[in-house]
Amino acid sequence: MNLFNMVVNYMILKVLTEKNKKLAKVCAEVKCFDNKLHKLLDNMKETMYKNKGIGLAAPQVGILLRVVVIDIGKDYFELINPKIIESSGEQQNTEGCLSCPGVFGITIRPKFVRAVGYNRNNELFEVFGENLKSCAICHELDHLEGILFKSRLAKFKDPAPNKLFWKK
Ligand code: CO
C-alpha cells in the first residue's frame, strides 16, 4: 500500500462551548446544497464520532445554518432545514451536550417525534424518532433556534428540585 495515496478528507472541528454567543442564535436556512455543505456534513459527522456524541448541530461548530447530524448508535442521518411536524407523549432523560462538557440534567422531551428535512442532495425525507432518538432530534433542532438543553429541564416539586450536575 502506498501511504501517499491515503487522503484524509475530513477535519475534526472545534466544538464551541456554551459561553459562545453563536450558540444562542437562530440559524439560517440552507439554500445551497453544494460541495461546501457536503464538506461541512462530513466534518460534523467525524467531529460527532470523535467526541462520542450522538448528535451535533452546525452552530456548535460555529456555522449558523440549519444543519444537524445524528447517530444514536443505530443509524447515521443528516437533516438539513428540518422541521418537527408531529410530536406526542413525554419522556425524561438524563441529557448532556457536547457544548456543555461534563454537565447533565434531567429533561422532559416528547416520546415520539416525526420530522421532515432534506438530505445532502436536497431530497425531502421524513424521520421518525422514538425514545432516545426523539430526544436527540429535539435536542439538535433546539440548537438551530439557539436553545440549549438547560432550558428543557424537568420541573420537580418533590422531594428535590431538578438540578444540573457534573459527571465524568
Ligand atoms: Co447539544
With a cut of 90, say whether residue 53 has pLDDT above it.
yes
DSSP per residue, 47-92? HHHHTT-SEEEGGGGT--BSEEEE-SSS--EEEEEEEEEEEE--EE
CA of 2 to the centre of ligand 1 (A): 39
With a cut of 90, say whether residue 6 has pLDDT above it.
no
Name the residue among 127, 153, 155 with its Cα closest to residue 68: 127
CA of 96 to the centre of ligand 1 (A): 7
Residues 6 or more apart in contact with residue 48 via CB below 8 angstroms: 54, 55, 56, 69, 71, 98
Sign, Cα dihedral of 47, 52, 54, 55: negative
Q: Which residues are catalytic?
A: 140
Overall CATH class of domain 13-166: alpha beta
CA of 99 to the centre of ligand 1 (A): 6
The residue written with cell numbers 453563536 in the block is: 22
With a cut of 90, say whether residue 156 has pLDDT above it.
no
Sign, Cα dihedral of 86, 24, 13, 100: negative
CA of 136 to the centre of ligand 1 (A): 9
Mean pLDDT, the chain, integer? 92
CA–CA separation, 153 and 121 (whole Å): 36
CA–CA separation, 100 and 110 (whole Å): 22
Q: What does pTM read for this prediction? A: 0.91
CA 155-27-147 angle, 5° bins: 10
CA 31-36-40 angle, 5° bins: 100
- Please give the share of the chain, as a percent, with pLDDT higher than 90: 84
Domain ranges of the chain: 13-166
CA of 124 to the centre of ligand 1 (A): 24
19 CB burial (10 A radius; 0-12, 13-18, 19+): exposed
